[in-house]
Amino acid sequence: MTTVTQMKCACPSCLCVVSLSEAIEKSGKNYCSTACAEGHPNGSGCGHTGCECSK
């Protein structure tokens, strides 16, 4: 049996893959950053290189 340890950030526009041990969990979903978990307040991005999820 295989155990899932990583998954795509739950933010629809985010390209990041997040380790479940480091993910920010909100409402049963896993996010790569606080910005993604909070819906990108003030247009802030996740801060990961190459990801433009707040645009």
- The predicted-structure confidence for 1-10, as pLDDT tens digits, reads as follows 889 999 999 9
Q: Are 36 and 13 in contact (CB under 8 A)?
A: no
Tens digits of residue pLDDT in 39-52: 999 899 999 999 99
12-26: average pLDDT: 96
The CA–CA distances, whole Å, from 48 to 4, 23, 27, 32, 51 equal 22, 14, 22, 9, 6
CA dihedral 22, 23, 27, 28 (to 10 degrees): -80
Q: For 50, what's the count of Cα atoms within 13 Å in the CB-facing half-sphere?
A: 3
